[in-house]
């Protein structure tokens, strides 16, 4: 799937010869990822083409004369689309030429030299473990180092991820973003500029039944057990009084297996809960608590009369969604490092044969979008396992991956700056194979 890359702002800088060049600020999942010149991206595109051939998306052409304002804006938009589209091929994401360039961009942007460092990783039970890494190690590499240290089976790494997590007042937990495999945790943590921010290790799947895939690995069971306890303590998961009493008894016995079996029946177990936000239902400005998981978006909405209403949207009936940045970026000594201050996510939903938009205003819009994409991916894999005609193809080097042979769902998600015209997409809502436009 495409990743949440965007280039909402660029800056003119003087060069050594007295001329000027454009420096593009690239954001990933709402956080500043790096700053890069067109010439750097153009050389990188050439390197990718030598490895992957013509399967790459088109790259914006070079202009030999001065660009007009409209030409500069068109190039910025084309570079943004290029970065989004080049991430579709999973082979490319894993390639050295892809990863090495993006590593250098992060290191150069934040003036980090490659050296040994200690990185504290936050575990779900509140403890942290120290990993000895290089500042240039990717999230994928750091996860491997940590898994070796705690005894997590290598083949289960795909069920876990590294996240930027903020510990709020009264011990409340806020998940800010999942780090992409090619991101540098050391650089991301240093550049986040968020108080009490940590790198945390958490499971990364939205279907709680996937716990069963991990039960043969003691370290994996320990991790999901710790996270289950944390989710209940933080009230992300909501057991009944009877369930809570039984879970507390099992916890005292340290019966992890039985504990995790019972949590499968607990409301919102395995969901990701966002920080309190607002939505436009039944009218703009209503407060809401959003929980995402198990193929649904669950909203606890505070109505104007202070009553609460639970509204659940099934992902099978979500047609598309888009993230929009509502504010303006500061551009004095460089743009701000996050887009999270003014974001909305809106999705189109089918109810009684009618389509309507539901709008959520949250600084975690990109995280929410990532969760929606993860739910679709898991559903696709599950359907492929159940239906032999939908087997996932393993792409050959230099060829794009076709997720499934048969396509029945088309998904549309995008990132839109406020000044951009809202796009529409005519898509089917039957859950099957993914086709993304925009992001």
Contact 288/276 with Cβ under 8 angstroms?
yes
Mean per-residue pLDDT over the chain, rounded: 86
Question: What pLDDT is recorded for position 353?
Answer: 87
* 21 confidence band (pLDDT: 50, 70, 90): confident
φ and ψ at residue 230, rounded to 5 degrees:
-60, -45
Please check the confidence at residue 33 and state whether its pLDDT lies above 50. Answer: yes
- Pairing outcome for strands 116-122 and 197-203: parallel
- Using N-to-C axis directions, what is the helix angle for 139-150 and 218-233, rounded to 10°? 110
The radius of gyration of the chain from alpha carbons, rounded to an integer in Å, stands at 22
Most confident of the ranges 3-12, 164-173, 306-315: 306-315
**Start-end of H helices in 165-316:** 185-191, 218-233, 241-252, 256-263
What is the DSSP code (8-state) at residue 390?
G
For residues 168-189, give the mean pLDDT: 91
Contact 433/407 with Cβ under 8 angstroms?
yes
**Start-end of H helices in 87-217:** 90-94, 96-109, 139-150, 185-191
Task: Please give the Cα distance from 136 to 84 (Å, whole number).
Answer: 23
> What own/partner pairs with CB < 8 Å and gap ≥ 24 does 90-97 have?
90/395, 90/401, 91/52, 91/395, 91/397, 91/398, 91/399, 91/401, 92/48, 92/52, 93/181, 93/182, 94/181, 95/48, 95/51, 95/52, 97/44, 97/47, 97/48, 97/51
Percentage, residues of the chain above pLDDT 90: 69
φ and ψ at residue 417, rounded to 5 degrees:
-60, 155
Please check the confidence at residue 421 and state whether its pLDDT lies above 60. Answer: no
Q: What are the tokens at 371? A: 């969760």
What is the DSSP code (8-state) at residue 420?
S
Please check the confidence at residue 414 and state whether its pLDDT lies above 70. Answer: no
């Amino acid at each position: 799937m495409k990743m949440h890359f965007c280039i909402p702002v660029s800056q003119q800088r003087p060069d050594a010869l007295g001329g000027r060049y454009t420096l593009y600020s690239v954001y990933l999942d709402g956080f500043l990822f790096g700053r890069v010149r067109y010439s750097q991206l153009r050389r990188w595109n050439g390197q990718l083409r030598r490895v992957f051939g013509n399967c790459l998306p088109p790259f914006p052409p070079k202009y030999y004369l001065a660009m007009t304002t409209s030409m500069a804006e068109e190039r910025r938009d084309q570079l943004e689309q290029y970065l989004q589209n080049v991430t579709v091929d999973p082979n490319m994401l894993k390639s050295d030429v892809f990863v090495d360039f993006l590593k250098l961009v992060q290191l150069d942007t934040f003036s980090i030299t490659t050296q040994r460092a200690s990185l504290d990783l936050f575990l779900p039970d509140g403890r942290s473990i120290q990993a000895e890494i290089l500042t240039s190690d990717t999230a994928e590499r750091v996860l491997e180092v940590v898994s070796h240290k705690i005894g997590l089976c290598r083949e289960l790494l795909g069920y876990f991820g590294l996240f930027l997590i903020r510990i709020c007042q009264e011990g409340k937990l806020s998940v800010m973003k999942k780090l992409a495999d090619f991101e540098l945790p050391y650089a991301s943590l240093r550049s986040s500029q968020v108080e009490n921010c940590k790198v945390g290790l958490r499971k990364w799947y939205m279907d709680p039944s996937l716990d069963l895939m991990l039960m043969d690995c003691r370290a994996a069971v320990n991790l999901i057990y710790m996270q289950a306890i944390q989710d209940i303590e933080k009230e992300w998961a909501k057991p009944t009084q009877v369930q809570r009493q039984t879970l507390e008894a099992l916890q005292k016995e340290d019966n992890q297996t039985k504990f995790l079996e019972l949590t499968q029946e607990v409301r919102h177990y395995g969901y990701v809960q966002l920080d309190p936000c607002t939505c436009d239902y039944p009218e703009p400005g209503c407060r809401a608590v959003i929980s995402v998981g198990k193929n649904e978006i669950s909203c606890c909405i505070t109505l104007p009369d202070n009553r609460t209403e639970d509204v659940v949207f099934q992902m099978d009936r979500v047609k598309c969604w888009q993230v929009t940045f509502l504010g303006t970026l500061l551009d004095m000594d460089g743009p701000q490092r996050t887009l999270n201050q003014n974001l909305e996510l809106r999705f189109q939903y089918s109810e009684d044969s009618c389509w309507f938009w539901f709008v959520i205003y949250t600084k975690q819009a990109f995280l929410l979008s990532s969760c929606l994409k993860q739910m679709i991916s898991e559903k696709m894999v599950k359907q492929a396992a159940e239906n032999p005609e939908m087997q996932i193809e393993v792409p050959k080097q230099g060829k794009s991956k076709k997720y499934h042979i048969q396509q029945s769902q088309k998904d549309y998600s995008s990132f839109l700056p406020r000044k951009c015209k809202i796009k529409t997409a005519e898509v089917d809502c039957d859950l099957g194979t993914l086709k993304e436009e925009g992001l």
